[in-house]
Amino acid sequence: MTIELKVPENIINIAKTLQNKGFSAYLVGGCVRDLLMNREPNDWDMTTNAKPEQIVESFAKTFYENDFGTVTVVDEQETDPRLKNIEITPFRKEGGYSDFRHPDEIIFADNLEDDLSRRDFTINALAYDPLENSLKDIYSGLKDIKDKVVRAVGDPDQRFNEDALRIMRAVRFSAQLGFNIEPATLASAKNNSRLLEKISKERIRDEFTKIIMSPNPAEGIVSCEKIGILPFVLPELAQTIGIEQNRSHIYTVWEHSLRALQHGADRDFPFHVRLSALLHDIGKPKSRRFSEEIKDHTFYGHEVVGERMVEKILTDLKYPNQIIETVVKLVRNHMFFSDPEQISLSAVRRIIANVGPDLVWDLMKLRACDRIGMGRPKEDPYRLRKYEAMVEEAMRAPTSVKMLKIDGDDLMELLHEKPGPKIGYVLNALLEEVLEEPELNTIEYLKKRAGEMIELPLAEIVALAEKGKEKKEAVEAEELKKIQKKHKVN
């Protein structure tokens, strides 16, 4: 099939180099699928009838250190990181998969058809000759793209027995692309779901991360549950299914968590916020109690239980320590923002100290996900703005003598004074001048002015200090008005 796709110049040059050496050259797999869908590929993979040694000999800079025959061609002049290293793999066919993960033997093939037959799904079993503008589509992958279908190449049982991670990949492509899994492929995925227990946690983690970062992560997690692979990915989440909440919730813990996650995706929140949204109530099944007093369920301390569970879950999935620490902090503190009218500014400062000034805004995002997940049409606008205003006010640098370029110790040394209220009066008097004219906040000026003040009668120094305190209060009030106006609260 002749079709013209937009291919970068350096890919064209690689194809020309191979062709001039007498070899074929095709783009293959996900990059072809993405081009056909008018998406920008993240990776550019090529295949050829040249053997690894012949590929290496054809290019100035390459590296080849793997068991699969893949040679990486390096273009040091390329500025786009996606195009700097292009992987070229010879046509190949594979022997058995006794471990359900890796081929027992790599066998180089003589033709493209054999290579495409080993691919996972029809939408990835596509090859494109960028010199001839020719699409090779022997498994009707283009039709499945148009029909929005994820379909295994050939026998789905065979594909999943070759590599059980393909079951998760089917879910991931469905969530990423908004496709449906074809019925026979779906049935086979269910029948072979237990094979996933043979897959390493690292590989499962990587696919799970891609599902979470897809446009439709909630649907992806639901698919994992329906297929039967959730117990091998996140068994603790499966335990939230059917757990009824108290009367303030209309959804079960499972449904609430999925809705919170999806809101994170809809708002394009970062991975750690989305993951926190999915796991923030993971401790509820273990902390659920029925109160005879209020005739309702309670979940006291579920954030503490969840904190410990999340640390273990993410450690088992081999996530980096930074991700683990961040998500654990968010889950542990997600209950903080309940009612802004009942929260003091000092309490807000404590939460900022607990999670850090950078993470506190992600805690606000998690709070929004939590509220949406409760079935409310949107986060209460006034409450959210009130939270934001309180956080900004708490994070604002306080107007105080600490702003000055000199401190009490400096003054005592300079003025040969002992500790006492007089030093405090001088500092407040200096603050009044700096608030009036910030450019005066220099060590040189403050020392000179302090020397002049210390010669004044004490009553006059006290009067200047009182003016400083009044100015400080006025500045703080004005700053607070600006914050409240910005967030439209009072």
Cα–Cα distance, 212 to 394 (Å, whole number): 32
Domain's final residue, options 395, 430, 451: 395
210 Cβ partners below 8 Å, 6+ apart? 172, 176
- Same domain assignment for residues 265 and 387: yes
- Same domain assignment for residues 99 and 196: no
Q: What is the pLDDT of residues 18-51, one digit of tens each?
A: 999 999 999 999 999 999 999 999 999 999 999 9
- Same domain assignment for residues 245 and 390: yes
Q: What is the pLDDT of residues 41-87, one digit of tens each?
A: 999 999 999 999 999 999 999 988 777 789 999 998 888 999 999 99
470 or 54, higher pLDDT: 54
Alpha helical stretches, state H, 252-294: 253-266, 271-279, 284-287
Instruction: Assess if residue 432 is contained within a domain.
Output: yes
- Same domain assignment for residues 282 and 386: yes
Domain's final residue, options 395, 413, 432: 395
9 Cβ partners below 8 Å, 6+ apart? none
Whether 180 contacts 74, CB under 8 Å: no
38 Cβ partners below 8 Å, 6+ apart? none
Whether 154 contacts 39, CB under 8 Å: no
pLDDT at position 484 is 66
- The model's confidence at residue 338, banded by pLDDT at 50, 70 and 90, is low
- Same domain assignment for residues 162 and 89: no
Q: What DSSP line would sit under 362-383, residue for residue?
A: HHHHHHHHHHHHTT-SS--HHH
Cα–Cα distance, 389 to 382 (Å, whole number): 10
175 or 243, higher pLDDT: 175
**CATH number of the domain within which 176 lies:** 1.10.110.30
Instruction: Assess if residue 2 is contained within a domain.
Output: no
- The model's confidence at residue 394, banded by pLDDT at 50, 70 and 90, is confident
Report the share of the chain in percent with pLDDT over 90.
61
- Same domain assignment for residues 444 and 366: no
Say whether pTM exceeds 0.85.
Answer: no
Q: What is the pLDDT of residues 291-337, one digit of tens each?
A: 767 777 666 778 889 999 999 999 999 999 999 999 999 999 988 76
Residue numbers of the domain that contains 444:
401-487
Of 230, 211, 352, which Cα lies nearest the Cα of 274?
211
- The model's confidence at residue 398, banded by pLDDT at 50, 70 and 90, is low
- Same domain assignment for residues 136 and 176: no
**CATH number of the domain within which 35 lies:** 3.30.460.10
- Same domain assignment for residues 414 and 366: no
What CA dihedral angle connects 100, 101, 102 and 108, to 10 degrees?
80
Question: Is the pLDDT confidence value at 96 over 70?
Answer: no
Q: What is the pLDDT of residues 416-434, one digit of tens each?
A: 888 888 899 999 888 888 8
Of 123, 126, 135, which Cα lies nearest the Cα of 173?
123
Instruction: Assess if residue 1 is contained within a domain.
Output: no
Rounded to 10 deg, the angle between the 183-191 and 165-177 helix axes is: 140
Domain's final residue, options 121, 147, 173: 147
- Same domain assignment for residues 180 and 195: yes
The size of the chain, in residues, is: 490
- The model's confidence at residue 383, banded by pLDDT at 50, 70 and 90, is confident
Q: What is the pLDDT of residues 158-210, one digit of tens each?
A: 999 999 999 999 999 999 999 999 999 999 999 999 999 999 999 999 999 99
- Same domain assignment for residues 340 and 267: yes
Q: What DSSP line would sit under 4-37, residue for residue?
A: -----HHHHHHHHHHHHTT---EEETHHHHHHHT
Q: What DSSP line would sit under 145-189, residue for residue?
A: HHHTEE-BSS-HHHHHHH-THHHHHHHHHHHHHTPEEPHHHHHHH
pLDDT at position 19 is 96
- The model's confidence at residue 399, banded by pLDDT at 50, 70 and 90, is low
- Same domain assignment for residues 69 and 21: yes
Instruction: Assess if residue 127 is contained within a domain.
Output: yes
pLDDT at position 436 is 77
Question: Is the pLDDT confidence value at 15 over 80?
Answer: yes
pLDDT at position 340 is 58
Instruction: Assess if residue 137 is contained within a domain.
Output: yes
Q: What is the pLDDT of residues 118-139, one digit of tens each?
A: 999 999 999 999 999 999 999 9
- The model's confidence at residue 489, banded by pLDDT at 50, 70 and 90, is low
- Same domain assignment for residues 189 and 306: no
Query: 3-state secondary structure string, 73-131?
Result: EECCCCCCHHHHEEEEEECEEECCCCCCCCCCCEEECCCHHHHHHCCCEHHHCCEEECC
Cα–Cα distance, 361 to 26 (Å, whole number): 46
Instruction: Assess if residue 4 is contained within a domain.
Output: no
State both tokens at 6: 């937009």
Instruction: Assess if residue 121 is contained within a domain.
Output: yes
Task: Enter the DSSP assignment of 420.
Answer: S
Which helix (H) or strand (E) covers residue 289, if one does? Answer: strand 289-291
What CA dihedral angle connects 193, 195, 201 and 205, to 10 degrees?
-40
How many CB atoms are closer than 10 A to CB 345? 11
Domain count, the chain: 4
Please report where in the chains the tokens 């690292």 appear, as a residue. 202
pLDDT at position 378 is 60
Query: What does each C-alpha distance from 470 to 101, 399, 400, 406 come to in angstroms?
Result: 72, 12, 12, 21
How high does pLDDT run on average in the chain?
89
